A and B are shown apart, each in its own frame.
Chain A
């Protein structure tokens, strides 16, 4: 049978962001995949070299909207490590609470999207209704709905009030029961199981060689979770289970997420019960000399911010490695041997976030040694606005 090249993206209904995949297809079966990332490259790593840590924090937050707390937390951790600053314990607990809320809303969002991809619209509505509850609690905690600006270098911006703590303690157990019900639906309902079980299988050792992270690798039975393997903040004090599933298919990857939702509600409730008293922020010197590496378990997997300061007010180099970027070689392996109709389900099972992947604008670079003329956004507007 002859091989056909099928291009999906950069604009495609199955992808929620712009990215291109070139599938080599024989009949209905995918035999090879060539990804082309970079459609959302914004030059953030270069731009970061001109920012102080106060400005850089807000830039880091804008790498990705969904997992913004993970990015700010990671950035702050890296800078604090470079400056050798210890964060007060209360701030650490509050960071954990915000971080877990962020993960909860991200997982519920993905599970809703997955249900919608399969045509299970009722479940999609139910997931998103419950996500709304999480969002409103998150708004009360941080002051913002999506881009929270909660974590700052040296602590957090706002304290939690006793009334809000009581409200969270009251609402989350109810949400727990509802998520338990959805878990039953996901593991039993044929609408979901027939589309996901034995679809996109990949073994754990193969994923390790490809460097996959997060729920993707935990769905193949590998116990890697930074909260456990490299505990940051106060995760070494909080008891929790690392969720792993042995199956290695799309179903397992979705189930890891729903089990994590249950687990993280326990983490939030534990953190609220054991919240220490004290200050919520500490001072950080403006000029820093040193190297710091922030690593956190973002909703999609391990996130890394590596920052190198050489005594200035701006970093010498700032490196960001995001989870979806690490998962791309893995997901390309997953497609092979499955049908074209399974592509959205398999891609959805790694919870792709391409804004994260590409990070980095070409618009602002002055290419001195090359011939290419680059333009600012203003120039482009002036030239092409009234065509």
Chain B
């Protein structure tokens, strides 16, 4: 309620930019949802992320950065949702963009963006070891957080891996 009322006064520059984004990548942008005047969620078609991120980074070379890459496991839908979060930080255009892309859970393969954004190196590794999302073209896809002797093909943040619920009295 409170959050929704804020959306009305979206700065002109932001709405113009989002229009431009929609025009540039017509069918690759499935939907745009403006959450607050400075946040927007963009649903994009599969395998179009690299193109869009490259366009954003070329346009705002001195004022944008990749915040993080996140994966959400929708086991009931049979999808992984990849979220690329990008911050545009110009003086008159401040916008936090979340690019959401669905990839099938059975074959989680996407193209790497490390050649466009070198800062994605660690984030891609993390999503690989935690969810098993394979980033094709990544220079050194391997373990970052998990120990070296962690078994292959076990991805701890996937929903099928459960926590043991053992409650013991500690004295």
Contacts and interface: CB of A to CB of B under 8 A. Distances in A.
Chain A complexes with chain B: yes
Interface of A: 37-38, 41, 43, 45-47, 50, 81, 84-86, 204-205, 208-213, 222-224, 229-230, 293, 295, 302, 304, 306, 308, 316-317, 319, 321, 325-326, 328-330, 358, 360, 362, 364-372, 376, 378
B1 A325 contact: no
Given A209-B117, A326-B119, A358-B145, A366 B161 contact: yes
A45 B159 CA distance: 12
A230 B90 CA distance: 11
B112 interface: no
Given A43-B156, A319-B70, A366-B163, A224 B65 contact: yes
Interface residues of B, number: 53
B72 A211 contact: no
B147 interface: yes
Given A295-B96, A306-B70, A38 B147 contact: yes
Contact of A210 (B2, B3, B63, B119): B119
A81 B3 CA distance: 8
Contacts of B161: 365-369
Given A204-B62, A293-B39, A308-B72, A321 B67 contact: yes
B139 interface: no
A366 B162 CA distance: 6
A204 B156 CA distance: 36
B163 A37 contact: no
Contact of A38 (B94, B118, B120, B144): B144
A371 B87 contact: no
A364 B163 contact: yes
A319 B68 contact: yes
B37 to A, nearest CB: 10
A362 B38 CA distance: 38
B164 A45 contact: no
B149 to A, nearest CB: 8
Interface string B60-88: 01111111101011000000000101010
Contacts of A302: 67
Contacts of A210: 118-119
9 contacts: A85-B2, A208-B62, A223-B89, A230-B38, A304-B85, A319-B68, A329-B121, A370-B151, A370-B153
Interface of B: 1-4, 38-39, 57, 61-68, 70, 72-73, 83, 85, 87, 89, 91, 94, 96, 98, 117-122, 130, 143-147, 149-151, 153-154, 156-157, 160-164, 166, 168, 170
Contacts of B61: 205, 208
A43 B129 CA distance: 13
A3 B163 CA distance: 45
Contacts of B164: 364-366, 376
Closest 5 CB pairs of A and B: A211-B119, A370-B151, A38-B145, A370-B154, A86-B2
Contact of B120 (A211, A223, A365): A211
Contacts of B151: 367, 370-372
Given A38-B144, A358-B145, A211 B163 contact: no
B75 to A, nearest CB: 10
A306 B122 CA distance: 18
A209 B39 contact: no
A362 B146 contact: yes
B39 A208 contact: no
Contact of B1 (A37, A46, A84): A84
A37 B122 CA distance: 10
Nearest to A38: B145
A84 B2 contact: yes
Contacts of B143: 38
B87 to A, nearest CB: 7
Nearest to A50: B163
A45 B3 CA distance: 26
B39 A41 contact: no
A101 to B, nearest CB: 26
Contacts of A209: 57, 65, 117-119
A211 B68 CA distance: 9
B119 A41 contact: no
A304 B62 contact: no
Contacts of A372: 149-151, 154
B147 A317 contact: no
B62 A205 contact: yes
Nearest to B149: A372
